[in-house]
Structures are given as C-alpha cells and as structure tokens.
Amino acid sequence: MKRLYVVVEGSTEESFVRSRLRPHLVDRGASLVEPIVVTTARSRDGHKHRGGGFWKNWRRDIEEIYKRASGPDAWVTTMFDLYGLPADFPELEEIRGSSDPEKKVATAERALERAVQGFADGRWFVPYVQRHELEALVLACLDDLRRMLDSKADLQGLSALSAEIGETPPEDVNDGASTAPSKRLVRHLPGYDKVVYGEYALCEVSMLALAQRCPHFGRWLERLVAIVSSTVA
C-alpha cells in the first residue's frame, strides 16, 4: 500500500490535497496521502526579513521527509507553482529563458528531480509544477464557484472573468504580474479570498473534469493513480 507525501506551497493546496486528492487516491489504493506545507504564512513573513530564496528551505524539507518516511512504498510529489518560483530555484534562468509554458514546466520538473536525487535514495519522486499556478484549477471550475457565491458583485465579476478567459485553456492563462490566474480572480471578484474561494471552487468538481480541462494536471493525476494502484513496489 503506497504512502504519498505531497509537498505544497500553501494552505489552498493543503486543503485541496486533503479534501480532494486524498480521497481520490485512497479509493484507488493509497494507504496515506499527506500534504506537507513548505512555506507557511508565518514562515514567509519571517523569511522576508532573513533574505535569500525559499528553495533551500523547500529542498531541506523534502530531504527531511525522505529521512523520516521509511520503506520503499513511500513516494513524494510536489505541487509548486510555475508562477513565482523562488529566486534560488534550480535552473531558474533556463526556465525563464523559454517562452513555451510546456518547456518551462518540463525544465522546472527535471530540475526538481535532479535536485532531489541525492537524498531520495532510490525512492520515488514525482515532480509536479503547475501551469501557471494553483488558481488555474480554480479558473477551470468557475461554474462550480458560481454555485457557491451569492454576492451580486461577485457574480457579475465572475461573468466578466469568464468572458475575459473565453476559450483559453486554464493552464494557458499566463503568468504576467497582472494577468496571472490569481490576479484575474482578485481583479474581478470583490469578495475574493484565496483560501475560501479556492475551496469553494474545488470542493465538488469531479477530478475527471479537472483533469480534462487541465491536461498537465491530468497527466500528474494519472501518474499518481498508476503509482498507488499498482501492486509493484
């Protein structure tokens, strides 16, 4: 029975792992699915003063997870945003140098894999970097979000946001300082609260629908399902 540790950036991801990813994977054979938050709100403020990038902390956390998780059935994966990778993230220049989002995430994921090799100790690691941030998944569920909101201003904002996105696949909604998915949500929805609205949007959408609308996410999900449902160590 596979155990999976999902290294996440924040509490919206933590909530998504616990309320959606965990049941999906436990139903398919996982014995444990736990999120570990690398940069909590408290530590983010602390590190602002200490300077330096966050990556060395993330890397240390992943190393510690492997140290503590004994046995060959323990897997580690990540849920990091392509948008706003820390300044000391490995191969960041190469990631930024590419203009193709698929190439960017592929480079980022390979860099993650290489960085972890030293202490994964032959155990299993599935790097995953979201295009372009978690809020892409929220953009994929605007109809679900609509059902949960009742403020007129929010509902009007939702219509404007849907019109603005149009047919663009959520994972292609780009990562400019004002055009990233999270920025668009903040701009259009007066009541927007990252954690609460994120949960509203994602709490009931089918994982299959999410996977279809967000293919990069879908491929990650498929990989995790294959791992937890296989009887091979």
Partner 1 sequence: MVLATQSPALLDHFDAEEVVVVERDEGATTLRRLVPAELQDWLAEYSLSELYDKNVLGGRP
**Residues that bind partner 1 in the complex, under the rule CB under 8 A:** 14, 18, 34-38, 40-43, 57, 60-61, 64, 67-68
Q: What's the closest the beta carbon of residue 40 comes to partner 1, in angstroms?
A: 4
Q: Is residue 218 a contact partner of residue 212, using CB atoms and an 8 Å limit?
A: yes
Cα separations in angstroms, 230 against 2, 28, 133:
9, 9, 29
Query: Among positive and negative, which fits the CA dihedral 172, 23, 12, 150?
Result: positive
Minimum CB distance to partner 1 smaller for 48 or for 152: 48
Closest approach of Cβ 157 to partner 1, in Å? 29
Question: In this complex, which beta carbon is closest to partner 1, that of residue 61 or of residue 172?
Answer: 61
CB of 43 to partner 1, least distance (A): 6
Find the shortest distance in angstroms from Cβ 52 to partner 1.
14
Q: Which letter does DSSP use for residue 77 in this model? A: E
Q: Residue 99: what are its φ and ψ, rounded to 5°?
A: -100, -10
Q: What distance in Å separates the CA atoms of residue 78 and residue 80, rounded to the nearest whole number?
A: 6
Is residue 29 helix, strand or coil? coil
CA distance 174 to 86: 18
* 38 or 211: CB nearest partner 1: 38
Q: How far is the CB of 17 from partner 1 (least distance, A)?
A: 9
Compute the least distance from the CB of residue 37 to partner 1, in Å: 5
In this complex, which beta carbon is closest to partner 1, that of residue 43 or of residue 98?
43
185 and 91 in contact (C-beta within 8 Å)?
no
Extended strands (E) in 49-206: 74-81, 124-126, 129-130
Q: Which is nearer to partner 1, 35 or 86 (CB)?
A: 35
* DSSP bridge pairs for 7: 36, 78
Residue whose CB is less far from partner 1, 58 or 83: 58
